[in-house]
Amino acid sequence: MDQVEAVFREERGRLLAALARRFGDLDLAEEVTSEAIEAALVRWPVDGVPPNPGGWLMTTARRKAVDRLRRDQVYAAKLAVLQVDMDREAPQSTGDELPDERLQLFFTCAHPALAAEDRGALTLRCLAGLTTPEVARAFLVPAATMAKRIVRAKKKIREARIPFRVPGPDELPERLPGVLQVIYSVFTEGYAASSGPYLQRLDLAEEAIRLARILHRLLPAEHEVTGLLALMLLIHARRDARTGPDGSVILLEDQDRRRWDHSMIEEGRELVVTALTGGPAGPYSVQAAIAALHDEAVDFTGTDWPQIVALYDVLLELDPSPVVALNRAAAVAMRDGFEAGLALFDELADEPRLRDYHPFALARADLLHRLGRLPEATAAYERALTLAGSEPERAHARDRLASMQQTEPMETVYEAAGGSEGMLALARAWHERVMADEIVSHAFHPPIEPDHVERLAAYWTEALGGPQAYTGVYGDEASVERRHSGNGEHDEMNRLAIACFDQAMTDIDLTDPRLRQVLHDYFAWATFTPMYQHNDEVIPDDLAIPRWSWDGIQEAAES
């Protein structure tokens, strides 16, 4: 079945293009192409894949088209007129035509009679074989809107009798930008699939590069053709390093650059020089120059970010789109700092085309995370997760979210342990353990148990980063320490007190290993240091409770 699917991916575009040119009707070509593929799905698993699968599909599709035309003589007559018009308008063969019928359909779909927004959509649907939702995602519009565009474009081709042919030499310059945009859209879908189990659709990316090579051979003097080919080569050169063995996403910052295709990078760099020489640079050439700077850097931090920002400034003049502005903001974050980059991101937040754009949400989440704005980063990662198209993108957003949650520092140990209620529960559980131990209970006075538990909880609250619940209610700490100073330094009692504390944490279901460790460290410090002094002469009059933060407690305990 994998072999059959590979054949379909390879042959569908050729088949559709040939049938559209032969019969002059895209709807008919799509229908009989689908019927031929359906027939193959029935026959090939039984009979095997034929030696010439493309020829088998073409023969089957032509027969189905002829059968349909025979059943509808009016339709057949109409198509006959279209075919005559097409043959009359077609230039005579000079041996220089584009060497692929799919490119004839590319130029038909990019005809100036079609609305600019419809050209790329129709080509992606017909030649790349993308579904309507996938095409919609490529252009950042709703699927319903894209469906209307595709129907409208097909209707325009049919009613305007747009011929399925290669334009003449005089027409190529004005028709070329539309074709380049279509090819790059195909490549973009291959670079980052809009849906499915894989991050990359290498077949689409490589098909786009192949078509760009054909155009470059035909039009070697066109700088933007050269620039587009260079851009795609420089990006595609990173393909092997962009995913892990399990298909997971690896960002540019973390990629193993030894796995990049350096021969492809060298080819792309040479093409960039050509594209930027001898005339004003176009958008694809500038993007290729940016890609070359990324590929030339030894590592991510060594990237020439000032030059990249400068090139994005040029690109914004040529193509003032929100996606270009987004990429520039990301580069500014690397050049000027994360705060500067985030400010630019926030300026773009209300841009309609970016509201549901996954890369925007993910990049903003990363900046917030780097700046330590964790609640906002969490919300941004959750937003990125909802917007991710492919499963690897979703998995990447989930991993980022989980990683951040696992390493998110607590503001205080007091908060991590449950605030005032948590402190009171812990003090009560510890006190119960202590009073059940004959040795440790000797240091306490049972008649004042309720007050003692409350004072203990208040003491821990303040010490572990909570509000000034102890010194604000019970007075200064030094006087309280003096009340406990007569017990003396009994190591065995102290160790048993710590053991009771560890048991108390279990009693209240405090299971987080990090939190248990830092609480244990604090209690051990407090037990062996100020709580049970040998006599009140060693207690300073200005004794104050230290504020134990989540991040600093281990270091302080060790000191």
Residue (of 120, 110, 121) closest to 171 by Cα position: 110
Per-residue DSSP letters for 504-535?
HHHHTT---HHHHHHHHHHHHHHIIIIIT-SS
**Residue 396 in tokens:** 């990447």
Task: Report whether 251 contacts 392 (CB < 8 A).
Answer: no
* 373 burial level (CB within 10 Å; 0-12, 13-18, 19+): middle
Task: Report whether 454 contacts 484 (CB < 8 A).
Answer: no
pLDDT value, residue 95: 35
CATH superfamily of the domain spanning 321-407: Tetratricopeptide repeat domain (1.25.40.10)
Residues in the chain: 559
Residue (of 393, 497, 396) closest to 438 by Cα position: 497
515 φ/ψ angles, rounded to the nearest 5 degrees: -65, -40
Average pLDDT over residues 345-365: 94
**Residue showing tokens 């019970």:** 474
Please, how many CA atoms are within 13 Å of residue 213, restricted to the half-sphere of its CB? 9
pLDDT value, residue 382: 92
CATH placement of domain 414-553? 1.10.490.10
Residue 40 pLDDT class (50, 70, 90 cuts): confident
- Output the furthest CA–CA distance in the chain (Å, rounded): 114
Rounded Cα distance between 386 and 356, Å, is 9
Rounded Cα distance between 519 and 495, Å, is 15
Q: What percent of the chain has pLDDT over 70?
A: 81
| Per-residue pLDDT reduced to its tens digit, 384-443 | 999 998 899 999 999 888 877 655 555 788 888 888 889 999 999 998 888 888 777 776
Average pLDDT over residues 155-178: 80
| Per-residue pLDDT reduced to its tens digit, 45-69 | 888 888 888 888 888 988 888 888 8
Is the backbone of residue 523 left (phi > 0), alpha (psi -120 to 50) or beta? alpha
Angle between helices 26-47 and 116-126 (to 10 degrees): 20
Q: Where are the domains of the chain?
A: 2-100, 321-407, 414-553
At 186, the amino acid letter reads: V
Residue 543, pLDDT > 50, answer yes
The more confident residue out of 535 and 439 is 439
Q: How far apart are the first and last CA of the chain?
A: 66
